Amino acid sequence: MAGLSKILIAVVAVITAASAVAVLLAPPSPQERMPRRQAEAQRMIDALTREAWNYYHDHGEFPPGDGIGTADLVRALGQKSSSGDPYMTFVPEMLTPGGDLRNPVAPETAILFYRNNRTASYPGQRIHNGQGFDLWGDSANGVRAGVNNWDSVVSGS
């Protein structure tokens, strides 16, 4: 009977371990993937927002940007900060051939957008952060500007 108990315990342990590995290694379903991408996009917007404010504190102005993409923002945040390190480091996979940041919601087809509202706003544009900057991209459910810095948890100072 002791041998049968050992075999039963071993089988249960193997099944439990295999189940845990399967759960951890199984790719997320499409229903799980979109909220994850949405959260990743918002985390990126929040990080860019923090570093744009750090740039402002070092230079007295926000990084340049006209709302057409994020290439100017990427170049500005790639510069050395007052600490001597770049504000942000961007891996090549995050960038389009033109230097814009890919939107994590749809990295193959969408980018993020940035506009310095102090220097590059035009009549008729919808501006959310009038004395600062707007940073946005489409959300996982296709809402224009559904991922943005005007709904962000990052402080504007």
pLDDT tens column, 83-113: 999 999 999 999 999 999 999 999 999 999 9
Q: Span 126-146, mean pLDDT?
A: 87
Q: Span 32-40, mean pLDDT?
A: 81
* Location of structure tokens 């189940």: 19
Q: In the chain, what percentage of residues exceed pLDDT 90?
A: 54
* 62 vs 87: CA distance, rounded Å: 13
* 31 vs 112: CA distance, rounded Å: 23
Domain extent listing, the chain: 33-148
53-73 in b/e form (b: 16+ CB < 10 A) is bbbbeeeeebbbbebebbbbb
